[in-house]
Amino acid sequence: MIPGPYLLYLGHSDDEVGIKTSRGLAAFQRDACVGEWRHDDCPLTLGLPRMSVAEARQAGARTLVLGIANAGGRLGDDLIDDALLAISAGMNVASGLHQRLRDEPRLVAAATAVGVQLFDVRDPPVDLPVGNGKPRAGRRLLTVGTDCSVGKMYATLCLRDAMRARGIRADFRATGQTGILIAGDGIPLDAVVADFIAGAIEMLSPARDDDGWDLIEGQGSLFHPSFAGVSTGLLHGAQPDAIVMCHDPSRAHMRGLPHYQLPELKECLDANLRVARLTSPAVRATGIALNTVKLDDVAARRLCDQTADALGLPCTDPYRFGADPIVDWTLQCFAPSAPAMTASR
């Protein structure tokens, strides 16, 4: 376990989506975060107290979380310099970037000298199995998306909490760096060799016979040329009974690819169902989760209603308005007297 409390790093970032790891921890583990560290040129905030390393250490922070993402997941000189400052103050450092902290000699030497630890979150387990596609017991819901970074983790956690509020056993299965930091465990799928992605999810979400649900965090998008491979392996390994489509209606194009437009919701939904049926023939869609952070309440609710009418599925912003509509329909679909599946589901 990574020692808390945390100081969340924003650094010099000016990309709202790029700080998603720090933002996710602030949203779902706020009590474990003492503050945020951002430089004067950073226009972003998590709504936490702004602190220097020394102030955070005095406030009890034990670990600096480098909660930002950049192209390629590299440790730039600014990140290394700031991490060295945190280490010199006696703080551990945690990172979910692809470039490992342990592969930077300056960080290793400094941490060893001070007696603190470096935590690389994007480390998959060793000896992962190859997926076998064999049916396994239990109920599983997978969030999927029209693009990467559209709110799949947020939706999954909100669905879990809504189920637990009803007394249902529900477990969040983290597949990305932010989810792993929040949950304390999981498998970073984008660091898994392609042949083992499906097997990794079979291991992460094994058979269960307690009438509970595994809520599996989705990754990427079948329509994103950079990340569709991860999404495909995840759909096959998860063997989902239900999928929930996540979408950010404010996106003008695929993240990082202005020459690729986002798919239509129904097109994306149908494609995910088609791919999932390889290992879960009876899979069905049970809801749409919109990320409406850039809309006011009236516009957000109107769009949710319009989307629900268009697709014949419950639609909500689960973080803003609650996940109950999707949970209601999901549980109804898998009750003993479940309604018949329609073409759109």
Tell me the pLDDT tens digit for each residue of 103-116: 999 999 999 999 99
The answer to whether 193 touches 148, Cβ cutoff 8 Å, is: no
Confidence at 98, pLDDT banded by 50, 70, 90: confident
222 HSE (CA, 13 A, CB side):
22
In the block, which residue shows the tokens 């995910």? 272
CA dihedral 257, 259, 262, 267 (to 10 degrees): -120
**Helices of type H across the chain:** 20-28, 53-58, 77-88, 105-114, 152-165, 177-183, 197-204, 228-238, 265-276, 297-311, 324-333
Q: What percent of the chain has pLDDT over 70?
A: 97
The answer to whether 99 touches 118, Cβ cutoff 8 Å, is: no
- What's 6-120's CATH class? alpha beta
CA 165 from centre of chain? 21
317's tokens: 């912003």
pLDDT of residue 72: 62
Domain boundary assignment for the chain: 6-120, 139-333
327's tokens: 């949970």
142 by Cβ neighbours in 10 Å (0-12 / 13-18 / 19+) ranks as buried
pLDDT(343) > 80: no
pLDDT(133) > 60: yes
Round to whole Å and give the CA distance between 179 and 185. 8
pLDDT(327) > 80: yes
Residue 83 falls in which region: left (phi positive, over 0), alpha (psi -120 to 50) or beta: alpha
pLDDT(338) > 60: no
pLDDT of residue 342: 43
CA 275 from centre of chain? 21
54's tokens: 């020394």
Mean of all residue pLDDT scores within the chain? 94
pLDDT of residue 344: 42
In the block, which residue shows the tokens 């749409």? 288
321 by Cβ neighbours in 10 Å (0-12 / 13-18 / 19+) ranks as middle
pLDDT(251) > 80: yes
Q: What percent of the chain has pLDDT over 90?
A: 89
- What's 139-333's CATH class? alpha beta
119 DSSP β-pair partners: 94
203's tokens: 């291991």
pLDDT(141) > 70: yes
Round to whole Å and give the CA distance between 62 and 40. 23
Report pLDDT digits (tens) over 57-87: 999 999 999 998 776 677 888 999 999 999 9
pLDDT(265) > 50: yes
Q: What are phi and psi of 5, to 5 degrees?
A: -70, 170
Q: What is the mean pLDDT of residues 206-227?
A: 96
Domains 6-120 and 139-333 fall in the same CATH topology: yes
pLDDT(214) > 60: yes
The answer to whether 220 touches 148, Cβ cutoff 8 Å, is: yes
